[in-house]
Structure 1
Amino acid sequence: YEYTSGGGDGGSLHRNVIFRDSVGLPAEPFSRFHSRDPEGLWDWLDGLRADGVEALAIPHNSNASDGQMFSLVDWAGDPFDRDYIAKRMRNEPLFEISQVKGTSETHPSLSDTDEWASFEIKPFIGSSFEISEPKGSYVRQALRDGLVMADQDLGNPYALGFVAASDSHTGATTDNEADFYSKIGLLDATPELRGSVPLPWWQSLAIGWILPKRVVELEGQTYARTPTTTFGASGLAGVWAEENTREALYSAFRRKETFATSGPRLRVRLYAGYGLGPDVLEDPARCATECPSAVPMGGEFETRPGEAPQFLAWAVRDPLSAPLQRLQIVKGWSHNGISGEEVHDVACAVGVPDPETHRCPQVAAPVDLGDCSYTERPGAGELRALWSDPDFNAEERAFYYVRVLENPTCRWSTWDALRAGLPPRSDLPVTVQERAWSSPVWRLPLS
């Protein structure tokens, strides 16, 4: 179920609560009517756990939290202490990085060297046009802040694995750009109400008269002015589990062996540690049982003296979506109270990453906006890499996660316009690069 807390200004602090099984469930769920303080939810979950009922909470839609989801103080405004951090991580091991109301990986103002940071950013709080504060609202910065707190011997409240979901309120998933139909039902059930296609004259007159701020004129056409235009057709959660049972899936949630996609059924895997020879590139799945000195996504490992760790990254395309363009490792680190981040391309569909810029060659992969078709080349069906961090520093605390990008494809708003026989709305992106993210791994500094 969903716990729908929020700050006093409307910032979203929502959580999805997942139970391991259906035995002994409480008669009444904990809700905002009990407390809007998320710590109250964690206390309730701790109480259930003491009675043998296992559950966890997954924060989501942090981009609309106005900086509150990953704040550095608690609900009362007090700094985190060890007990608070332990309680938070005990109950919230995962985070929803993408959904219909935007992607919460990072923001251009927080990651100004990441060329792909501006992906399906919904900048608003709720259904308003009030801008949400980026700092404290996006998970990459939270991962960095967590490293700094761990350096201070407090623990890491933001050692989060990644999942994604739709957050649709219609009972159906809208994760396909070519078939995006609604999140809220009647309020965005048509392209006209979603703002991707001009309103008919009678509707524009009615809305303009009743709610004049809810229409916008563009190139002689009247469109609905709605936050829905910033929605994305997202997303899906991936789980690496031993079997397809509720118990096994929940256990994978707990160990954070999960990944997220913006909609396509991509598959991603990450292992990190030592003793990873070139032979594992032939069959990355072997590491599930044959890499004793490596940890899977969601894990942490210790730095060895005089030895740089290795990272096995792997991704496979969705055969019903575009081919892969590049495989990346996103790194964050902290040292002496200062954190940083960088993005490395580690495998390319065409060519190899430049050793200076850590970027793949620029190769065009055009989309035909007349029918939204794309070519299969250039592009890859699978990308894999065995990578070592060129900036490895044994004294730093660090996280690493995989991000894989597809070639561009038509955005849902472009599909809406195409079906209506109209050009795409000029102030919206015409294409997107669908993607997937692995959960991070964490490297502990040399002690």
Structure 2
Amino acid sequence: MRRAMMAAALLGALAGLAADRQVYFGDLHIHTRYSFDAFLFGTRTNPDDAYAFARGAPLRHPSGFEMQLSRPLDFYAVTDHGFYLGMWSAMTDPAHPLHGDPDARTYLDAKTTPERSRAFRTAGQFLTDNFSEADVRGAWAEIVASANRHYTPGELTTFIAYEYTSSYPTDRGNLHRNVVFRGDAAPIMPFSRLDSLNPEDLWAWMDLQRQRGMDAIAIPHNSNGSNGHMFELTQTDGTPMDAAYAARRMRNEPLIENTQIKGTSDTHPFLSPNDEWADFEIMPHRVATLLRSRPQGSYAREAWRNGLVMQERDGVNPYRFGVIGSSDTHNSGEVFDEDRFVSKVGTLDSDPVGRGSVPVNPGEEIPGYREGSNIYFGASGLAAAWADENSRGAVFDAFRRRETYSTTGTWIRLRFFGGYGLSEDMLDAGRIAQAYETGVPMGGDLVRQESAAPGFLAWAAQDPQAAKLQRLQIVKGWVADGRSHERVYDVACSDGLAVNPDTHRCPDNGAVVDISDCSITEGVGASELSTLWHDPYFDPDQRAFYYVRALENPTCRWSTWDAIRAGTTPRGSIAATIQERAFSSPIWYDPAG
């Protein structure tokens, strides 16, 4: 009895601490001049410039104009590519042995789009032939020092980080991860694709660094371009996934980046044919190619479903990950606004023609215009974390426990709890501790409680600088008879509308967009939506996951803004409008307790 009372007191104390958590917004995917490709695209800004931009300072784009955030971010990480890190930048020093080399100058002096495109395609061999560990170490040391210089707890949390840029060796399927360190120390060299293409080797390296006191997580991104390899059903060598593999993967990869400039990786219409909102910012290609990417094995929702099946069948689930968004800008910063979108690859797509959003003059040749990927890019995304304070330790701990969510670029505030005995008034500021004490937040695990059915408490608040909210949804995945299933439920509607109990859908709230000028319907939509929802088909014997998706009223896509400013019509093959959204990390239900 005394032990139970002590446990209850401890839980209550922890819940009280959790009640003070605030949501913090950031970007964990930024490339500067130290990335081999960003340099070739014209980027000359450095990590110091990137962190100043995160605070709200203007940033010079490679094409010469200024960019500036509408409001400062709370956390930020420069994640330059680990391979060939800083080598081009080092060669700009007149004292560098390759500064005057004629072959090097063809890369360093590339200016036009054809020159830069050709440089990008051929740079790998030159950098391999002239690899300099000293240059890489020097750039990495500056990245580490810059992150530590700009770290100001309570104002801007900066993380030491880099990108592990791997790909599947036979088909170029994307296997990229951003490696984010918790503290102020980092290894002397980053582990890159030059060390191994196998992410399992990256995890082994991370485990070793953790033993040395340098904790880190790897955050996969652009699973949509992996051609099915990001969320395989076997280990890399083809052997079945076992408990050790699942533990190693989840220890090192508790999160993925499910939305960014190169598309959103929540789900795909082919995988979710009954989800009317699945066809959203789909990037059809593998990264840096025009090869199509296979949807199966490439999207988060299917991975969560497959994880349930594996857990049911084999007792292991390597896919209990949460989500964040980030940008993947190669310009040292991204503004996230549809009407100010400047894309991601420096001078190559800094104007509407380069982005593919306006017609070109008859007979004019623009590399990759008709079939290129730039038109599929999106003005996304943001990472959000519920943390005890804005510090490295607290925000990183939120990553670890998956109390995170992603947005497609707007500052939507989102909360999600699951548990037994929850009530909607627990969302009130004075009672939020009870939600933590009674249930689990996004990213958490729910266990069976006799024959009771859990409730799910969902809340979203609009970004005051964006459109109002249209609906709040809960996406469920579950296993029955050895197969996974999914269903999307509208759970809260704007404008006093009610969910249809048969279709589980909100009525249309009448929000429309005038494509001629991008004006939107005034007076419709909600500033906040919340509900306590119970699964009408809950089965206590079925494994399941639940996550929240919040949808704004429709607004113009960036490509439509480009077309209007150019005095032309939007491309008919591309959506003229979008519904910005936020995705929570899931809550998993385990019937085994």
The answer to whether the aligner puts 1:287 opposite 2:432 as a matched pair is: yes
The AA in structure 1 aligned to 2:587 is V
CA distance in 1, matches of 2:273, 2:430: 34
For 1:310, which of 448, 451, 455 is the aligned residue?
A: 455
The alignment partner of 2:525 has SS state of coil
| Structure 1 residues 240 and 285: alpha-carbon distance in aligned structure 2, compared to 1, 3 A threshold | farther
Q: CA deviation at 1:375?
A: 2.5
CA distance in 2, matches of 1:324, 1:304: 34
| Structure 1 residues 285 and 407: alpha-carbon distance in aligned structure 2, compared to 1, 3 A threshold | farther
CA distance in 1, matches of 2:512, 2:430: 33
| Residue in structure 1 matched with residue 515 of structure 2 by the alignment | 369
Q: CA deviation at 1:292?
A: 1.8
| Residue in structure 1 matched with residue 51 of structure 2 by the alignment | none
Say whether the 8 Å CA contact 2:423–2:457 is kept in structure 1.
Answer: no
CA distance in 2, matches of 1:93, 1:285: 30
| Residue in structure 2 matched with residue 20 of structure 1 by the alignment | 182
Q: CA deviation at 1:108?
A: 0.4
For 2:216, which of 55, 59, 65 is the aligned residue?
A: 55
| Residue in structure 2 matched with residue 110 of structure 1 by the alignment | 271
The answer to whether the aligner puts 1:186 opposite 2:347 as a matched pair is: yes
Q: Percent identity?
A: 53
Q: CA deviation at 1:128?
A: 2.5
| Residue in structure 2 matched with residue 69 of structure 1 by the alignment | 230
The answer to whether the aligner puts 1:246 opposite 2:405 as a matched pair is: no
Say whether the 8 Å CA contact 2:560–2:570 is kept in structure 1.
Answer: yes
| Residue in structure 2 matched with residue 126 of structure 1 by the alignment | 287
The alignment partner of 2:188 has SS state of coil
Identify unmatched segments of 5+ residues in structure 1. 217-224
| Structure 1 residues 278 and 139: alpha-carbon distance in aligned structure 2, compared to 1, 3 A threshold | closer
The alignment partner of 1:152 has SS state of helix
The alignment partner of 2:364 has SS state of helix
CA distance in 2, matches of 1:277, 1:270: 12
The alignment partner of 1:292 has SS state of helix
**Max Rg structure:** 2
Cα distance per residue 1:50-103 (max 9 Å; x no partner): 111110000000000000000111221222111111100110000111000000
Length-normalised TM-score, structure 1 = 0.93
Cα distance per residue 1:118-169 (max 9 Å; x no partner): 0000011123322100000000000001111111343211001110000111
CA distance in 2, matches of 1:314, 1:278: 9
CA distance in 2, matches of 1:43, 1:154: 23
The AA in structure 2 aligned to 1:76 is D
Q: CA deviation at 1:278?
A: 4.0
| Residue in structure 1 matched with residue 493 of structure 2 by the alignment | 348
Q: What's the Cα RMSD here?
A: 1.4
The equivalences for 1:193-232 within 5 A come to 193-201=354-362, 204-207=363-366, 214-216=368-370, 225-232=371-378
Bigger mean CA offset, 347-356 vs 366-375: 366-375
Q: CA deviation at 1:284?
A: 6.6
For 2:256, which of 95, 99, 104 is the aligned residue?
A: 95
Q: CA deviation at 1:446?
A: 4.4
CA distance in 1, matches of 2:548, 2:242: 30
CA distance in 1, matches of 2:336, 2:543: 35
For 2:558, which of 412, 426, 431 is the aligned residue?
A: 412
| Structure 1 residues 398 and 80: alpha-carbon distance in aligned structure 2, compared to 1, 3 A threshold | same
Length-normalised TM-score, structure 2 = 0.71
The AA in structure 2 aligned to 1:179 is R
Say whether the 8 Å CA contact 1:323–1:376 is kept in structure 2.
Answer: no
Identify unmatched segments of 5+ residues in structure 2. 1-161
- Give the helix-richer structure, 1 or 2: 2
Q: Number of residues paired by the alignment?
A: 430
CA distance in 1, matches of 2:273, 2:457: 27
Cα distance per residue 1:330-375 (max 9 Å; x no partner): 0001134211110000000031111111000123211122221112
| Residue in structure 2 matched with residue 437 of structure 1 by the alignment | 583
